[in-house]
Amino acid sequence: MTSPSGSWLRRLSPRDDAGMRIICFPHGGAGASSFNGWFRHLPNEIELVRVQLPGREDNNERPAFTRIEDLIPELFDQVHPLLDRPLAIYGHSMGALVAFELTRALRRNNGPLPVALLVSGRRAPHKPLRRVLLHVLSEADLVAHLRKMGGTSADLLVRPKWLERYLPTMRADLQLSDIYHYRDEPLLTCPIHAFLGEEDNEMHREDWEAWSEQAGGEFSRTLLPGGHVFSQSTQAILVSLITKVLTDRRAAA
């Protein structure tokens, strides 16, 4: 596993033969390991790069960021070495917000736009929050919300020591998302593809559909089986759809 000291990027090994990379950002509280199953579904010509944001798994010497404005400049420096070949950017839930703002940072810094911005499980960034602030919930209420949302083992949610380690990162990620302030910029000209679990109750459907309002070019929306946190089988479907998007882009280049 390639992860130089100080790097947030998790790669099996440098893939000099890969014609394209996809960099992936997980949902709130999760780490790079949430994408481990993707390796067996992606073709060899697409290199998977998982991002281990601070505050989780093997990158826990620093606390998680609580403001997107603080995160993006450091993230840009981490990602810059990957711009030597075509790059796709994917994020789920909070990760979709990070993926979106990273794409805009690339444009502001005159970098190449991604061959595709792929987002799932989140409302469009310009749509306002329509739920309570989750990061300020009591521990009992936050745990109850996580249990309802799914994706976290019920056994883990009753372990005090595990919660002591996990909840601060989850709260930080939720705060980053809850207090996010959208700033107007031109529409993105790179293709945008949005995905959502058809049983996802974390948002209003029309707020997810509004990703189209960020697109200055190609756009698609796709519903997937399941809820907010994708199962392994849904992830396999998602990766197959992403692979088609990216291979079609390569063929058209």
- Residues annotated as catalytic are 93
The most distant pair of C-alpha atoms in the chain lies apart, rounded to whole Å, by 52
- The first and second tokens of residue 128, run together, are 């306002």
| Reduced 3-state DSSP string for 170-233 | HHHHHHHHHCCCCCCCCCECCCEEEEEECCCCCCCHHHHHHHHHHECCCEEEEEECCCCCCCHH
Which one, of 84, 103, 74, 78, lies nearest residue 21 by Cα?
Answer: 84
Q: Assign 87 to helix, strand or coil.
A: strand
For the stretch 143-147, contacts whose Cβ atoms lie closer than 8 Å and that sit 24 or more positions apart, written own/partner, are 146/170
Q: How far, in Å, CA of 212 to CA of 113, rounded? A: 17
Instruction: Specify whether the CB–CB gap between 58 and 3 falls below 8 A.
Output: yes
Asked if 193 and 219 touch (Cβ cutoff 8 Å), the reply is: yes
